[in-house]
Structure formats: structure tokens, C-alpha cells
Amino acid sequence: MKKNKISKDWIIKQHRDQYFKNSKSHGYRSRSAYKLIELDNKFKFFKKNKIIVDLGCYPGGWSQVAKENTDKSKILSLDLKKMDKLQGVHFICRDFQKDETKKEVLKILGEKADVLMSDMAANTTGNKSLDSIRTNALTQQVIDFSRFVLKDDGVVICKLFTGQDFLEVKDLAKKKFKKVDFFKPKSSKDFSKETYIHCKGIKTL
């Protein structure tokens, strides 16, 4: 009974959410599409003729925004959960953490990417501290992955959570990239600890 009440409360909140409503009316697959729009308005990383990789792309809201905001760009999206077909986007069902995936990504693209983006979060456990740690571990893996598939002047856009391990992620990013910024979009819910990291320019080690 309690579980049903929580589900109903969640549905009610979603329908009161302006970004949720807008995503439905504009045909976006997720409300998080607006987060990426705000991130691009802030950092200006979408341009024509770019090569873009979307990690953890399901259900495809970020891939939609990438397609809409670039011209003649190549977009490769990856997830363990199959994404419905999106015109102009190449999807592969893969685990980005596996070494063979790095090689496959480069083979498909034919060259390294200009933008690597990720809105991934670990599956929730109900323990906010644990969820934060697990998601930030994913962010660190995205940063490490980017060094294999990203051009020297490339950009990483990735979700992470403030709190535990935040400074560890920040320090890792600053070791790997020349420029590191953080930004919380207005479309991100006020109570959420999520923010986004913007990294640009791989450092030569």
C-alpha cells in the first residue's frame, strides 16, 4: 500500500513539473534534454561537423538534443539498455567500461570524438550517500574513458553529485584536463545534489 502511494505521489509531482510537461509537448524522450540545452548555452560545445559520443544514452533525450543542435555531425550513442531508433544517430548496446568497447568506438567513428557526454547515474539503492559514491565512480570512469576516444582539444560533459567523492572527481579531472568547470542547470531539481562537470583540452602526461 505504501509503495503504491509513493508511486502515485511521484506521478503527480512529474505532471506538475514544467520541464516534464515541456519534454512531452516537444517530443523529447526525457526531461534531462533541457539540462543539456542549458549546458550547451553555457559552454557552447555543439557545432556543425562534430563527432559526438553519448554514454549511457537511454532513453535518448541527450542524443535528440545533440542531433537537433548540430549540422552534419556524427553521433554515436551507447547504453546497456537498448535505445529506440533515432534518425541520424548510431546506437550500439555496449558496456563502455570494457576495453574492447574503446576500440569498437574508435573503429565506428573512424577518428577520435570532439564531444563526449554522459548523463549516467548509478541505479538507486535508497541510500543517497551510496548512490552518490557509485555515480561519481561512473564519472571517474567516463573521464578515464574520454582520454582514449577524445581529441586533444575535446570536451567532456558529465553528471556527478556533490558530497562524498566530489573532490576526488574534481582532482582527477584537473589532472587530466586543462580547463574544468561545474554548472547546475535550472532544469535540475532544487533538491537534487547533481551538478555537471565540463572539461576541455586533454593534458599531455
Smallest CA-to-CA distance from 115 within 205, 31, 199 is with: 199
Mean pLDDT of 181-189: 93
SS3 content of the chain, % helix, strand, coil (to 5): 40, 25, 35
- Strands 150-161 and 113-118, by their bridges, are parallel
C-alpha grid cell for residue 22? 515541456
Mean pLDDT of 181-202: 93
E-only strand ranges, the chain: 51-55, 74-79, 89-93, 113-118, 150-161, 177-183, 194-202
- Strands 194-202 and 150-161, by their bridges, are antiparallel
C-alpha grid cell for residue 9? 505521489
pTM of structure: 0.87
Domain boundaries, the chain: 30-202
Q: Is 103 in the active site?
A: no
Mean pLDDT of 97-111: 95
Catalytic residue among 159, 175, 189, 200: 159
Sign of CA dihedral 184, 34, 22, 86: negative
- Higher pLDDT: 123 or 15? It is 123
Class of domain 30-202: alpha beta
**pLDDT higher than threshold 90 for residue 53:** yes
Please give the angle made by the CA atoms of 119, 166 and 31, to the nearest 5 degrees: 25
- Terminal CA-CA length for the chain: 56
Q: pLDDT tens across 7-50, in order? A: 444 343 444 467 667 666 677 998 899 999 999 999 999 999 89
Conformation bin of residue 179: beta by default, left when phi > 0, alpha when psi is -120 to 50:
beta
